[in-house]
Amino acid sequence: MTRDLRILVVEADPEKAQHIIDALIEAGWQVVHAITQVSGLERSIKEHDPDIVLIDMENPDRDTLEHISAVSDTKSRTVAMFVDQTDHDLTQAAMAAGVSAYVVDGLQMNRIKPVLETAIARFQVMRKMRSELDAAKQALEDRKTIDRAKGILMRQRGMSEDAAYKLLRKTAMDQGRRVIDVAHALVTAADLLT
């Protein structure tokens, strides 16, 4: 597990924040910053660009979770929350907000390392799944565009589907472009002319 990650700690109690920082440094992480208020999260994220945001709160609420999700960009960084109390709805809201680890019963110094390592691993799995899903969605959109382009060629030139695709592919090769780019240009031009 890489230890050169930048960590931002959100802890209202400065003394406890120092204990968390000490535990993180003892676990091998060196770049650690702390803030005392969730309201300062956006500015601190811009300033320090952390890889991990570790938040320790007694009683989170839905508004706080939404704020954390909005400002911490949970799609690009691991967020671990340690809370003293929760309920089913808050737990669900935390997961929906993209929190990678939501630990109930407070933060215990001996659990920081394994929880962060688990949160990082979960975040990486989720990021990979999101990336694969985005790629699949893009491939489907590309396929639809290519099919539309083939349909235009088939109607305009009386070609078979296979011949239409071969023409798209040949045009792409001749122009040094991708088939999807040629298909997109054809569909755009056809939309302009109709």
Q: In this predicted structure, what is the pLDDT of residue 74?
A: 62
Q: CA 84, CA 13: separation in Å to the nearest integer?
A: 14
| pTM for the model | 0.68
Residue 25, SS3?
helix
137, 97: one domain: no
pLDDT tier, 39 (very low <50, low <70, confident <90, very high otherwise): confident
24: Cβ contacts below 8 Å, ≥ 6 apart: 7, 9, 32, 54, 112, 116
Residue 2, SS3?
coil
Residue 123 lies in a domain: no
Residue 116 lies in a domain: no
Range of the domain at 143: 133-193
CATH of the domain at 170: 1.10.10.10
142, 92: one domain: no
Whether the pLDDT of residue 13 is over 80: the answer is yes
Phi, psi of 106, rounded to the nearest 5 degrees: 75, 175
The gap between the terminal CA atoms of the chain, to the nearest Å, is 56
Whether the pLDDT of residue 92 is over 80: the answer is yes
Give the rounded distance of the alpha carbon of 136 from its chain centre: 16
